[in-house]
Amino acid sequence: MAGRYRSDLKWSDVTAKADYVNRRQLMMGAGAMAIGGALAGRAQAQDDLVPNTWEEITSYNNFYEMGTGKDDPKRNASLLTTDPWSIKIDGMVDRPGTYDLGDILRGKSIEERIYRLRCVEAWSMVVPWNGFELKDLLDQVGVQPSAKYVSFETLVRPSELPGQRRNTIDWPYREGLRLDEAMHPLTLMATGLYGEDMPNQNGAPIRLVVPWKYGFKSIKSIVRISLTDKQPANSWNMLLPNEYGFYSNVNPEVDHPRWSQATERRIGGGLFAKKIPTLMFNGYANEVASMYAGMDLRKYY
Protein backbone atom coordinates (compact mmCIF):
# COMPACT_ATOMS: atom_id res chain seq x y z
CA MET A 1 0.00 0.00 0.00
CA ALA A 2 1.29 3.40 -0.96
CA GLY A 3 1.79 6.04 1.70
CA ARG A 4 -0.91 8.41 2.83
CA TYR A 5 -2.57 10.45 0.10
CA ARG A 6 -1.40 14.01 0.13
CA SER A 7 -3.60 16.63 -1.41
CA ASP A 8 -1.40 19.31 -2.92
CA LEU A 9 -3.90 22.05 -2.36
CA LYS A 10 -6.54 23.02 0.14
CA TRP A 11 -9.78 24.78 -0.46
CA SER A 12 -8.48 27.77 1.39
CA ASP A 13 -5.68 28.02 -1.17
CA VAL A 14 -8.12 28.03 -4.03
CA THR A 15 -11.00 30.14 -2.85
CA ALA A 16 -11.38 32.68 -0.13
CA LYS A 17 -14.41 32.17 2.10
CA ALA A 18 -16.26 35.21 0.82
CA ASP A 19 -15.84 33.87 -2.70
CA TYR A 20 -17.11 30.35 -2.18
CA VAL A 21 -20.15 31.62 -0.41
CA ASN A 22 -20.83 33.88 -3.34
CA ARG A 23 -19.10 32.29 -6.32
CA ARG A 24 -22.10 32.42 -8.62
CA GLN A 25 -22.31 36.19 -8.47
CA LEU A 26 -18.58 36.40 -8.75
CA MET A 27 -18.46 34.26 -11.90
CA MET A 28 -21.20 36.31 -13.47
CA GLY A 29 -19.27 39.46 -12.77
CA ALA A 30 -16.70 41.09 -14.99
CA GLY A 31 -13.84 39.73 -12.92
CA ALA A 32 -14.63 36.10 -13.68
CA MET A 33 -12.08 35.71 -16.44
CA ALA A 34 -9.28 37.33 -14.46
CA ILE A 35 -9.95 35.17 -11.40
CA GLY A 36 -10.24 32.05 -13.52
CA GLY A 37 -6.87 32.82 -15.04
CA ALA A 38 -5.27 33.37 -11.67
CA LEU A 39 -6.64 30.05 -10.39
CA ALA A 40 -5.46 28.15 -13.44
CA GLY A 41 -1.82 28.62 -12.54
CA ARG A 42 -2.21 27.41 -8.97
CA ALA A 43 -4.53 24.53 -9.75
CA GLN A 44 -2.66 23.11 -12.71
CA ALA A 45 -1.92 19.79 -11.01
CA GLN A 46 -5.58 19.13 -10.28
CA ASP A 47 -6.94 20.88 -13.37
CA ASP A 48 -10.48 21.96 -12.58
CA LEU A 49 -10.75 21.59 -8.83
CA VAL A 50 -12.58 24.79 -8.04
CA PRO A 51 -15.01 23.81 -5.31
CA ASN A 52 -18.72 24.30 -5.74
CA THR A 53 -20.33 26.81 -3.43
CA TRP A 54 -21.75 25.90 -0.05
CA GLU A 55 -25.22 26.58 -1.44
CA GLU A 56 -24.75 24.29 -4.43
CA ILE A 57 -23.37 21.45 -2.33
CA THR A 58 -26.11 21.68 0.28
CA SER A 59 -29.18 22.33 -1.92
CA TYR A 60 -28.85 19.68 -4.65
CA ASN A 61 -28.66 16.26 -3.01
CA ASN A 62 -29.57 12.65 -3.54
CA PHE A 63 -30.49 11.34 -0.09
CA TYR A 64 -33.62 9.24 -0.53
CA GLU A 65 -34.03 8.95 3.26
CA MET A 66 -34.99 12.63 3.14
CA GLY A 67 -37.05 12.40 -0.07
CA THR A 68 -36.47 11.58 -3.72
CA GLY A 69 -36.42 15.13 -5.08
CA LYS A 70 -33.08 16.94 -5.30
CA ASP A 71 -34.38 19.70 -3.04
CA ASP A 72 -36.12 17.41 -0.53
CA PRO A 73 -33.01 16.68 1.58
CA LYS A 74 -32.38 20.34 2.32
CA ARG A 75 -36.04 20.88 3.17
CA ASN A 76 -36.21 17.88 5.51
CA ALA A 77 -32.69 18.13 6.90
CA SER A 78 -33.62 19.82 10.17
CA LEU A 79 -35.77 16.84 11.23
CA LEU A 80 -32.71 14.67 11.80
CA THR A 81 -30.93 14.63 15.16
CA THR A 82 -27.32 13.48 15.01
CA ASP A 83 -26.31 13.77 18.66
CA PRO A 84 -25.82 11.27 20.26
CA TRP A 85 -24.42 9.16 17.43
CA SER A 86 -22.69 5.83 17.46
CA ILE A 87 -21.52 3.29 14.93
CA LYS A 88 -21.78 -0.44 15.47
CA ILE A 89 -18.64 -2.07 14.15
CA ASP A 90 -18.86 -5.84 13.89
CA GLY A 91 -17.93 -8.91 11.88
CA MET A 92 -14.34 -9.91 11.34
CA VAL A 93 -12.70 -7.37 13.62
CA ASP A 94 -10.59 -7.78 16.76
CA ARG A 95 -12.45 -5.16 18.77
CA PRO A 96 -16.13 -5.21 17.77
CA GLY A 97 -18.56 -2.94 19.57
CA THR A 98 -20.73 0.11 19.46
CA TYR A 99 -18.45 3.10 19.20
CA ASP A 100 -19.59 6.54 20.17
CA LEU A 101 -18.76 9.18 17.54
CA GLY A 102 -16.41 10.82 20.05
CA ASP A 103 -14.45 7.55 20.38
CA ILE A 104 -14.21 7.30 16.63
CA LEU A 105 -12.95 10.83 16.15
CA ARG A 106 -10.46 10.70 19.07
CA GLY A 107 -6.90 10.76 17.79
CA LYS A 108 -7.88 11.05 14.14
CA SER A 109 -6.34 13.82 12.10
CA ILE A 110 -9.07 15.65 10.24
CA GLU A 111 -7.81 16.67 6.82
CA GLU A 112 -9.15 18.81 4.02
CA ARG A 113 -9.67 16.89 0.81
CA ILE A 114 -10.97 18.53 -2.34
CA TYR A 115 -12.53 15.76 -4.38
CA ARG A 116 -14.58 15.55 -7.52
CA LEU A 117 -18.00 14.01 -6.90
CA ARG A 118 -19.50 12.31 -9.96
CA CYS A 119 -23.12 11.24 -9.65
CA VAL A 120 -24.25 8.25 -11.69
CA GLU A 121 -26.91 10.62 -13.11
CA ALA A 122 -24.17 12.42 -15.09
CA TRP A 123 -23.83 15.55 -12.99
CA SER A 124 -20.86 16.44 -10.85
CA MET A 125 -19.50 18.79 -8.22
CA VAL A 126 -16.21 19.54 -6.54
CA VAL A 127 -16.49 19.28 -2.77
CA PRO A 128 -14.00 20.38 -0.12
CA TRP A 129 -14.52 17.64 2.45
CA ASN A 130 -13.10 17.35 5.94
CA GLY A 131 -12.46 13.91 7.30
CA PHE A 132 -10.05 11.10 8.07
CA GLU A 133 -9.01 8.03 6.15
CA LEU A 134 -11.27 5.03 6.67
CA LYS A 135 -8.08 2.99 7.07
CA ASP A 136 -7.39 4.75 10.38
CA LEU A 137 -10.73 3.57 11.78
CA LEU A 138 -10.27 0.04 10.44
CA ASP A 139 -6.81 -0.10 12.02
CA GLN A 140 -8.30 1.09 15.31
CA VAL A 141 -10.78 -1.80 15.44
CA GLY A 142 -8.36 -4.37 14.01
CA VAL A 143 -9.31 -6.06 10.74
CA GLN A 144 -8.92 -9.83 10.90
CA PRO A 145 -6.97 -11.53 8.09
CA SER A 146 -10.07 -13.41 6.87
CA ALA A 147 -11.98 -10.19 6.09
CA LYS A 148 -12.24 -9.31 2.42
CA TYR A 149 -15.04 -6.71 2.27
CA VAL A 150 -16.50 -3.87 4.29
CA SER A 151 -20.22 -3.19 4.40
CA PHE A 152 -21.96 -0.04 5.60
CA GLU A 153 -25.48 0.86 6.66
CA THR A 154 -27.28 4.18 6.99
CA LEU A 155 -29.47 5.12 9.93
CA VAL A 156 -33.09 3.87 9.87
CA ARG A 157 -35.35 6.30 11.69
CA PRO A 158 -38.59 7.00 9.78
CA SER A 159 -39.72 9.50 12.42
CA GLU A 160 -36.85 11.80 11.39
CA LEU A 161 -36.24 10.55 7.85
CA PRO A 162 -39.57 10.98 6.04
CA GLY A 163 -38.33 9.24 2.90
CA GLN A 164 -38.14 6.02 4.91
CA ARG A 165 -41.89 6.00 5.46
CA ARG A 166 -42.17 4.64 1.93
CA ASN A 167 -40.46 1.54 0.64
CA THR A 168 -38.72 3.13 -2.33
CA ILE A 169 -35.63 1.29 -1.12
CA ASP A 170 -35.43 -1.73 1.17
CA TRP A 171 -34.11 0.20 4.18
CA PRO A 172 -31.49 0.46 5.55
CA TYR A 173 -29.49 1.87 2.66
CA ARG A 174 -26.51 -0.43 2.25
CA GLU A 175 -23.15 -0.06 0.55
CA GLY A 176 -19.95 -2.00 0.40
CA LEU A 177 -16.32 -1.89 -0.63
CA ARG A 178 -13.61 -4.42 -1.24
CA LEU A 179 -11.12 -4.30 1.62
CA ASP A 180 -8.33 -2.87 -0.55
CA GLU A 181 -10.71 -0.12 -1.69
CA ALA A 182 -11.68 0.59 1.90
CA MET A 183 -8.02 0.77 2.96
CA HIS A 184 -7.08 3.02 0.04
CA PRO A 185 -5.70 6.38 1.16
CA LEU A 186 -8.25 8.26 -0.98
CA THR A 187 -11.16 6.66 0.88
CA LEU A 188 -12.43 9.14 3.40
CA MET A 189 -14.78 9.15 6.36
CA ALA A 190 -16.05 12.70 6.04
CA THR A 191 -17.30 14.69 8.99
CA GLY A 192 -17.69 18.10 7.38
CA LEU A 193 -17.21 20.34 4.41
CA TYR A 194 -15.72 23.78 4.01
CA GLY A 195 -14.42 23.38 7.56
CA GLU A 196 -17.95 23.29 8.97
CA ASP A 197 -19.78 20.33 10.49
CA MET A 198 -21.38 18.06 7.94
CA PRO A 199 -24.83 19.42 7.02
CA ASN A 200 -27.57 16.85 7.63
CA GLN A 201 -28.56 16.71 3.95
CA ASN A 202 -24.99 15.76 3.05
CA GLY A 203 -24.91 12.79 5.44
CA ALA A 204 -24.27 14.10 8.95
CA PRO A 205 -22.58 13.40 11.19
CA ILE A 206 -20.29 11.00 9.35
CA ARG A 207 -20.30 9.55 5.84
CA LEU A 208 -18.13 7.74 3.38
CA VAL A 209 -16.48 9.45 0.40
CA VAL A 210 -15.01 7.27 -2.36
CA PRO A 211 -14.15 9.81 -5.04
CA TRP A 212 -13.41 7.42 -7.92
CA LYS A 213 -16.82 5.76 -7.67
CA TYR A 214 -20.29 7.08 -8.51
CA GLY A 215 -21.75 9.12 -5.70
CA PHE A 216 -24.21 6.52 -4.47
CA LYS A 217 -21.30 4.43 -3.17
CA SER A 218 -20.45 7.23 -0.73
CA ILE A 219 -23.04 6.21 1.85
CA LYS A 220 -24.33 8.84 4.26
CA SER A 221 -25.13 8.98 7.99
CA ILE A 222 -23.43 5.67 8.78
CA VAL A 223 -24.51 3.64 11.82
CA ARG A 224 -22.96 0.27 11.06
CA ILE A 225 -19.72 -1.01 9.56
CA SER A 226 -19.17 -4.77 9.17
CA LEU A 227 -16.15 -6.69 8.00
CA THR A 228 -17.04 -9.79 6.02
CA ASP A 229 -15.55 -12.36 3.68
CA LYS A 230 -18.44 -12.17 1.21
CA GLN A 231 -19.26 -9.40 -1.23
CA PRO A 232 -21.92 -7.38 0.58
CA ALA A 233 -25.23 -6.31 -0.92
CA ASN A 234 -25.59 -2.70 -1.97
CA SER A 235 -28.98 -1.00 -2.19
CA TRP A 236 -29.05 0.23 -5.79
CA ASN A 237 -27.79 -3.11 -7.04
CA MET A 238 -30.50 -4.85 -5.02
CA LEU A 239 -33.14 -2.59 -6.54
CA LEU A 240 -32.00 -2.39 -10.17
CA PRO A 241 -29.24 -4.97 -10.78
CA ASN A 242 -29.03 -4.30 -14.52
CA GLU A 243 -28.40 -0.60 -13.91
CA TYR A 244 -26.12 -0.56 -10.86
CA GLY A 245 -23.30 -2.94 -10.02
CA PHE A 246 -21.16 -3.47 -6.95
CA TYR A 247 -18.00 -1.72 -8.15
CA SER A 248 -19.61 1.36 -9.73
CA ASN A 249 -16.28 2.90 -10.68
CA VAL A 250 -16.65 6.09 -12.70
CA ASN A 251 -16.03 4.96 -16.25
CA PRO A 252 -16.81 7.10 -19.33
CA GLU A 253 -16.65 4.03 -21.57
CA VAL A 254 -19.36 2.00 -19.83
CA ASP A 255 -22.77 3.62 -20.27
CA HIS A 256 -25.59 3.41 -17.80
CA PRO A 257 -28.54 1.74 -19.58
CA ARG A 258 -30.49 4.99 -19.40
CA TRP A 259 -27.82 7.55 -20.24
CA SER A 260 -24.31 8.00 -21.51
CA GLN A 261 -21.53 8.26 -18.94
CA ALA A 262 -19.07 9.81 -21.41
CA THR A 263 -19.79 13.35 -20.28
CA GLU A 264 -21.09 15.16 -17.24
CA ARG A 265 -22.49 18.51 -16.24
CA ARG A 266 -20.73 20.39 -13.47
CA ILE A 267 -23.31 21.94 -11.19
CA GLY A 268 -23.01 25.71 -10.97
CA GLY A 269 -22.66 26.52 -14.65
CA GLY A 270 -26.20 27.82 -15.00
CA LEU A 271 -28.65 27.31 -17.84
CA PHE A 272 -25.99 27.29 -20.55
CA ALA A 273 -23.43 25.05 -18.83
CA LYS A 274 -21.36 23.07 -21.34
CA LYS A 275 -20.92 19.35 -20.86
CA ILE A 276 -17.43 18.26 -19.86
CA PRO A 277 -15.79 14.89 -20.54
CA THR A 278 -15.95 12.39 -17.68
CA LEU A 279 -12.54 11.13 -16.59
CA MET A 280 -11.64 7.48 -16.06
CA PHE A 281 -11.99 6.70 -12.35
CA ASN A 282 -13.24 10.28 -12.05
CA GLY A 283 -9.70 11.57 -12.57
CA TYR A 284 -8.10 9.31 -9.94
CA ALA A 285 -6.77 6.65 -12.32
CA ASN A 286 -3.17 7.21 -11.22
CA GLU A 287 -4.13 6.42 -7.65
CA VAL A 288 -6.60 3.56 -8.09
CA ALA A 289 -6.39 1.91 -11.53
CA SER A 290 -3.89 -0.70 -10.32
CA MET A 291 -6.52 -2.17 -7.96
CA TYR A 292 -8.55 -3.23 -11.00
CA ALA A 293 -5.73 -4.46 -13.25
CA GLY A 294 -6.92 -7.36 -15.37
CA MET A 295 -10.58 -6.94 -14.45
CA ASP A 296 -13.23 -6.62 -17.14
CA LEU A 297 -14.75 -3.31 -16.09
CA ARG A 298 -17.69 -3.85 -18.42
CA LYS A 299 -18.62 -6.97 -16.51
CA TYR A 300 -17.77 -5.58 -13.06
CA TYR A 301 -19.56 -2.25 -13.59
Partner 1 sequence: MILTATQTINDRLRHFPTWPVYLVGALPPVWLFYLGVTGGLGVEPIKALEHRLGELALQLLIATLAVTPLRRFTGITLIKFRRALGLIAFYYITCHLLVWLFLDVQLWSQIWADIVKRPYITIGMAAFVLLIPVALTSNNWSIRRLGAPKWRRLHQLSYAAVVLGAVHFVMLTKTWEMEPALYLLGVVGLLALRLPKRRA
Which residues contact partner 1 by CB under 8 A? Answer: 24, 55-56, 59-60, 64, 68, 70-71, 123, 168-169, 239-240, 243, 255, 257-260, 262-263, 265, 267-268, 270-275
Taking the complex as a whole, the smallest distance from the CB of residue 244 to partner 1 amounts, in Å, to 9
In DSSP notation, 119-155 reads -TTSEEEEEEEEEEEHHHHHHHH-B-TT--EEEEEE-
**Which of 139/170 has CB closer to partner 1?**
170
Give 179 or 262: the residue with its C-beta nearer to partner 1: 262
Least separation in angstroms between CB 23 and partner 1: 11
Give residues with Cβ within 8 angstroms of 200, minimum separation 6: 66, 73, 77, 78, 80, 82
| DSSP tag of 118 | E
33 Cβ contact list (under 8 Å, min separation 6): none
Which residues, in sequence order, are bridge partners of residue 132? 189
Query: Of the two residues 57 and 155, which places its CB atom closer to partner 1 in the complex?
Result: 57
- DSSP code, position 293: T
Q: Which residues contact 288 (CB under 8 A, 6 or more apart)?
A: 181, 184, 186, 212, 249, 281
C-beta of residue 251 within 8 angstroms of C-beta of residue 301 = yes
State which residue, 10 or 265, has the beta carbon closest to partner 1: 265
Given the complex with partner 1, which of 71 and 229 has the nearer CB atom?
A: 71
Q: Is 166 helix (H, G, I), strand (E, B) or coil?
A: coil
Nearer to partner 1, 13 or 55 (CB): 55
H/E stretch holding 34? helix 32-42
**Whole-number minimum distance, CB 130 to partner 1, in Å?**
22
* CA–CA gap between residue 282 and residue 143 (Å, rounded): 28
**Per-residue b/e over 21-45, b at no fewer than 16 CB within 10 Å?**
eebeebbeeeeeeebeeebeeebee
Residue with smaller CB distance to partner 1, 32 or 40: 32
Q: How far is the CB of 273 from partner 1 (least distance, A)?
A: 7
Q: Considering the complex, what minimum distance in angstroms separates the CB of residue 152 from partner 1? A: 20
Closest separation in Å from C-beta 236 to partner 1 = 8
Nearer to partner 1 among residue 78 and residue 168 (C-beta): 168
DSSP string, 176-223: EEEHHHHTSTT-EEEEEETTEEPPGGGTSS-EEE-TTB-GGGS--SEE
Q: How far is the CB of 239 from partner 1 (least distance, A)?
A: 7
